[in-house]
A and B are shown apart, each in its own frame.
Chain A
Amino acid sequence: MKNNERNKPKIVWLQAITCNGNTHSFLSANVNRLKLFLNSFDLIYHPSLTTDILLDDLLKKDEEIDFLLVEGAISSNKEFFQLSNQTTNEILKKLVLKSKYLIAVGSCASYGGVHKKFEQNNNILGLQEALFEHDTSTLKHPIVNLTGCPVHPEWIFQTLFSLKEYKQIALDEKGRPKEIYSYLAHHGCTRNEYFEWKVEANSFGLKEGCLFYEQGCRGPMTHSNCNKILWNDVNSKTRAGMPCIGCTEFDFPRNNMLETKKNIGIPDEVPLGVSKRAYLSIAGVAKTFKIDRLNEKIIK
């Protein structure tokens, strides 16, 4: 048993400027996946959970950390934010030097997220921005950004198990694992047929219709697999009827997230990779097909 414990990769979960949403997303993971994770890794520190060591001990110890997971944005402004009498920036830098892999858990750790909107503190940063090249010189891998507000627990598991097994994971230009973020939130949405035939949801609160035209849905331009790996095992925002708000993207949160910005009745932004002209042509053609089934209630 003790030997086995020694062989498990050590994980430290640091909470910086956060709402703890990623922690609670993680604690809501599929229970079998969580058990396998706890059997396969040694979570030596998490501030919300009772682990054997405290942050102060961790900073003093010489012990090597395999995976440093950071939830929340980073700041060197001590007036607004401090942990154990230090800034999150100071703590981060000390811990990174002990770590092999650095993973940003959530959009705040990746890019600053919601907390970056607190402009009175003009020093709120994501990990990449907060660290200089020499700070990360001991890392064996580029920083992995697991964006999302919050991040899906399965994305954390898949990333950790992959890095444990294969030592590396392919990242996109924003530092996100390609195999998670090459998909769009749109893929697998149960409203896709409505999107194809340009049938709008007439209002909120309906099973029928696409949320892209009126309700601000960012599914066709948001990199994430929310509709492939469902939330809490059972659902996604768009399946339920809530528009995707693009929380895995660099620019989250945007303004007017629950309505579609339009120009002369046409969505200002069109699906990723499609030219506006092509989109208009195809939308026009699709609309000429008046498919009764799609204009009726699903369950009559």
Chain B
Amino acid sequence: MKTVDIVERIEGEAKLVCQWNKEKISDVKIQFLNFRGFEFILKDKPALDALVYTPRICGICGQAHLKATVEALENIYKNHNEELILTKKAKLLREIGLNIEIIDSHIKWFYMFIMPDIVKFSQNNLAEYTPLKGKKWLEASMIASETIKSLALIGGQWPHTSYMIPGGVMSDPTLLDLISMQNYMDQAIIFFENSLVGIKLDNYLDFKKSEDLYKVKGDLKDFITISFENEFEKIGKSYNRHLVLGDSLSFEKGKINRKLTKNISYENIEELTLNSFDIDKSKISKEAYTWSKTALYSNNFYETGPLSRAIVQNRDFVNDIHRKYKDSMFTRILARMDELGFLLFKTKELIKQIDINEDSFIKPKVSLSDFKYGFGQSAVEACRGSLYHDIEIENGIISKYDVITPTVWNLGPGIEDKLSTSQKAIIGTDSLAKAKLILRSFDVCSVCTTH
């Protein structure tokens, strides 16, 4: 039996094509059938214009793309041994901007993309989660729009600002701006405490053991209860291999393939197209079924995202839950909401570290167009996981731009005899509804996947 199901509400559209055997999914293909060609669009454009283009790869994680672009461009300077000074203030303002975007995305994801499906598995009537009407949906959209104001204060607006530029950032916030940013973070913390977990953030962050799950109240408790009632801690397991490419004040890079290694080299990243469409039709294999490419690290599939970040970073609570329930759908969703609490605390700390007397921007001594040829790479942690940019320029004009998004790591097609991370997570599931939830647990973004 074969099932084709179109999945909406994943930031775009995907198709799940399932093969069934004895009422379980025995094989699955995740098809992304849309392609917007950003890597082709970027070719032949002036290098700095990439700062305007790449945030538009995705309306949700535009700041991640912006930060990846600016750091890839700065890497070109580094590869020329050309000194480029970046103040701590500029570094902080970039990272704070990205963190706020992740916070905003996590809130929206839980209430708009996950809970409406999760509550369908409950025996109780949880109409408060009803999209566009329910009290909790409205409250979440309110707090998301309040939270993002703190990014607009330094970026001018959200989405789609390009306030980061090689040498720093374009804005110069006042002390009052910083206080306002703290205030918006505090509002989000109050929401986290009163609505999501029902306890103080400090107490939540003290959680160390999986048993602490029973101390959680609030909306996350609804998720935990429904999950255990439906054994969501037993489904959605994949390779349990984890990758974090981005290194920052908030996250640590590293990978876990049985044991944890902090040594990451971009040279081990490989992008393959064996099962992917190509705009050059002569290159398309018969097996091609999606526009997404396949991303591998050291020839292996890895998961990327909040769960991977928490365990690479050894954050106790998620670590212990992960030890018990492995990389299940339950662990994956819980880790994302745990990261919300972690980032609210962390981002407030980072805002406090800003010294407004430092420069926001120090103009590079040479322009990118002064380099006859240049190349640079960067990786940042976006809301959905590791985002990698790779750029080449000639006389200041982009000659090659390659982007590997987190969703390509998680949702790209398997190759040859190897299943991809999400394929492996879905196979063995006994219902299409659960398969769709597992797919969503990776925080699917079709627009990112098929940039």
Seen from chain A, the residues whose Cβ lies within 8 Å of a Cβ on chain B are 15, 17-25, 27-31, 34-35, 38, 43, 47-51, 54-56, 79-84, 114-115, 117-121, 149-150, 203-207, 226, 231-242, 245, 247, 253, 255-259, 299
List of A residues within 8 angstroms of B168 by Cβ? 204-205
Partner of B152 from the list A21, A29, A118, A234 (CB cut-off 8 Å) is A234
Given A150-B59, A206-B172, A236-B157, A120 contacting B279 (CB threshold 8 A): yes
Partner of A256 from the list B46, B116, B363 (CB cut-off 8 Å) is B46
Partner of B145 from the list A79, A120, A232, A242 (CB cut-off 8 Å) is A232
Given A20-B59, A205-B171, A242 contacting B41 (CB threshold 8 A): no
Contact count band on B = 35 or more
CA distance A54 to B5 in the complex (A): 12
Partner of B9 from the list A47, A79, A80, A82 (CB cut-off 8 Å) is A47
0/1 string, B153-178, CB within 8 A of A gives 1: 11111111111010111111010000
Partner of A21 from the list B160, B180, B279 (CB cut-off 8 Å) is B160
List of A residues within 8 angstroms of B167 by Cβ? 204
Given A19-B59, A20-B11, A120-B279, A258 contacting B165 (CB threshold 8 A): yes
CA distance A226 to B152 in the complex (A): 13
Given A81-B35, A235-B156, A241 contacting B59 (CB threshold 8 A): no
Given A150-B159, A255-B46, A27 contacting B8 (CB threshold 8 A): no
What would 8 A/B residue contacts be, using CB atoms closer than 8 Å? Answer: A34-B141, A48-B8, A48-B9, A80-B36, A204-B170, A205-B169, A240-B163, A255-B46
Partner of B149 from the list A80, A234, A258 (CB cut-off 8 Å) is A234
Which 6 A-B pairs rank lowest in CB-CB distance, beginning with the nearest? A205-B361, A205-B360, A21-B59, A240-B156, A231-B157, A237-B156
Say yes or no for B198: interface residue by CB 8 A criterion: no
Chain A residue nearest in CB terms to B65:
A19
Seen from chain B, the residues whose Cβ lies within 8 Å of a Cβ on chain A are 6, 8-9, 11-13, 33-38, 40-41, 45-46, 48-49, 51-53, 56-60, 62, 90, 104, 108, 112, 116-117, 131-133, 138, 141-142, 144-146, 148-149, 151-163, 165, 167-172, 174, 180, 277, 279, 359-361, 363, 447
CA distance A25 to B133 in the complex (A): 19
Quick check: A28 and B148 within 8 Å, CB to CB? yes
- Contacts A49-B131, A258-B51 aside, 18 further interface pairs with beta carbons under 8 A come to A17-B36, A20-B58, A24-B60, A25-B59, A35-B138, A47-B13, A49-B9, A56-B6, A118-B36, A118-B37, A118-B40, A119-B40, A203-B363, A204-B170, A205-B360, A240-B153, A241-B172, A258-B52
CA distance A255 to B397 in the complex (A): 11
CB distance from A79 to the nearest CB of B (A): 8
CA distance A55 to B7 in the complex (A): 11
Chain A residue nearest in CB terms to B52:
A257
List of A residues within 8 angstroms of B152 by Cβ? 231-235, 240
List of B residues within 8 angstroms of A247 by Cβ? 160
Given A25-B159, A118-B36, A20 contacting B447 (CB threshold 8 A): yes
